[in-house]
Amino acid sequence: MRQRNRRKPRTGGRESRDRWMITYADLITLLLIFFVILYAMSSLDTQKFNIVTGSLSDTFKSGNPVLEGGNGVLEGQKGIESEGTGKGQNGGTGGGAQSGVNQEQQNGGGTPSGPPPEGTQPTAREQAFRDQEAKLAALMGVITQYVEDNNLGDQIFVADKPQGIAITLSDRYLFDVGRAELKAPAFPALRQLSGLFRGIGATISIEGHTDDTPVTAGSRYNDNWELSGARALSVLRFFLDKEGLSPSKFQYAGYADTRPAVSNSTPEGRQKNRRVEITVLRQLQEEE
């Protein structure tokens, strides 16, 4: 009988078909690096950008080649080695990145580090941020001095928070119990604030807060939501109607007892939670 020709099995077929995955993985890695660098470049903080680029540079230079036979991603700079971090023996990640940047500068690298050279003009937005930070610092200083001069330390509290300068006013200073109409003794402080808010160039948020005690049966407000919102609105109306500030610079909200500053388990804690917070937010607005 004639034997049928048998095809010899192909060797390495699966390996040949899967070689595209190597190139695809390299492409994805490079895209990730590319977007990380884009993100770093979008930041206004030059020092943080230099730390990121220096850290990436050190990682690529000291790591294994991406493809066999290659010299690494930054093969053109393989001779540059950061001091004390080339083999991961000294310091932490932050120190190594900074050392790498400094070493690149000494070897003629194109990435600067630290503050801009003397005489370099900041961009318009950088200058706007600097001006606003200066205004916020001055605002906090004036309010703090006003509180000290008028012995209002137990009624008005000022703090520099990440979102902005927060001015907290106790409900005893602003309102009678269970009511949202401003008391006359609070007018001088609010007038002082309105004068400081003119030209600040930032949004001012007014938030009303209560404790967890329900409103009384005879109250004109159905619950603490309405009471906290009405109190915030009363402060807003004072700035708009009495002082003539621009409505576009303000926002207000009532949070009832959902955002307590401290625990409501004690009378002192409940008193601290009944408050109005006025926050000058850290954000720029277009000048009118």
pLDDT tens sequence across 38-52? 876 665 566 666 776
Question: What's the number of domains the chain is made of?
Answer: 2
Taking the C-alpha atoms of residue 40 and residue 166, their distance in angstroms, rounded to an integer, is: 30
Residue with tokens 């000294």: 90
pLDDT at 75: 44
**The two structure tokens encoding residue 257:** 């007892």
For residues 197-224, give the mean pLDDT.
91
The tens digit of pLDDT for each residue in 147-198 reads: 898 888 889 999 999 899 999 999 999 999 899 999 999 999 999 899 888 8
Same domain, 144 and 267: yes
Residue 286 lies in a domain: no
Taking the C-alpha atoms of residue 156 and residue 171, their distance in angstroms, rounded to an integer, is: 10
pLDDT at 278: 95
pLDDT at 263: 95
The tens digit of pLDDT for each residue in 242-253 reads: 999 999 999 999
Strands 250-254 and 204-209: parallel
pLDDT band at 23 (very low <50, low <70, confident <90, very high): confident
Distance of CA 200 to the CA centre of its chain: 20
Same domain, 48 and 91: yes
Residue 171 lies in a domain: yes
Same domain, 69 and 35: yes
The tens digit of pLDDT for each residue in 220-235 reads: 999 999 999 999 999 9
Same domain, 39 and 176: no
Question: In which element (H, E) is residue 160 found?
Answer: strand 156-161
| 101 Cβ contact partners less than 8 Å away, ≥ 6 residues apart | 50, 51, 53, 54, 109, 111, 113
- Model confidence at 109: pLDDT above 60: no
CATH number, position 183: 3.30.1330.60
Average per-residue pLDDT for the chain: 76
Residue 101, domain extent: 13-106
